[in-house]
Copies of this chain bind each other. A is one copy, B any other.
């Protein structure tokens, strides 16, 4: 079995010619507020608009090296975009299953990148994923989960954590959005993990809080209305186990706080971020947030459409 660190090594080598080393930008405003030196990790400036390209490209190429000639996933969000981009770059066919209620613009975008998009007969994500799993099993195509997969954990969280550690060797506290646990879990499983973690989630879909209460991963949640669609749903088993061991401070934020986080980032640093990223900013702005030493807020993505942005600025 390959160790997790060896997987991250392999992912870093493979990703280097494709991805950007995104800047770590000092935030005087947050530093003053938190009473420590604080930075923003601008992973929102990554190729495809989010960190998801890291895990998607790594998983796809590992599967190709193992003999796969096509891959599939279920996502109408950043993971789908990352996989479509990776497949296009690797000249490998990719099937992307999307929920029936998907925004037609996103289907267009994915098809424009060459993906074979399959729109589900079911409106929501969970039924769509179940349907997609049946389809790919029938057709013998490997399926790349958006979060509960060791390659995704190493590619997404593992490589991003190492990059931040190189940029700021004495990094102590990390504030980041937690949804399925693919990013946070991969970071915590790596040797570069921070001492302290603040896990930010949306109140609308608090899988981490529920899982900590139960002591085991809540892998399915009722579908919920939230601007932070990237954080909606259950949490993966591997990611949750890493989070539980680490005992993070969990902060759940409201839709209004998410909007305020988008506005704060725009007004203070002039960066565009998507609502799922703003969840971490909102947590950093909460009075009860507990940090120590050099602190980094991870801005995970910028994929926000003009209509949603207009609503947030209103």
| A binding-site residues for B, Cβ under 8 Å | 20, 23, 25, 28, 45, 47, 49, 112, 263, 266-267, 270-272, 302-306, 309-310, 313-314
Contacts and interface: CB of A to CB of B under 8 A. Distances in A.
Given A270-B303, A309-B313, 8 more contacts: A45-B45, A266-B272, A266-B306, A266-B309, A270-B304, A306-B313, A310-B314, A313-B313
A85 B271 CA distance: 18
Contact of A263 (B267, B270, B306): B306
Number of copies of this protein chain within its complex: 2
Contacts of A309: 266, 309, 313
Contacts of A49: 270
A270 B272 contact: yes
A309 B267 CA distance: 11
A20 B20 contact: no
A241 B52 CA distance: 47
Nearest to A112: B28
A310 B309 CA distance: 9
Contacts of A47: 25
Nearest to A303: B270
B313 A267 contact: no
Given A20-B23, A28-B112, A306 B272 contact: no
9 tightest CB-CB pairs across the interface, nearest first?
A: A272-B272, A310-B313, A270-B302, A49-B270, A267-B306, A266-B306, A306-B313, A270-B303, A20-B23
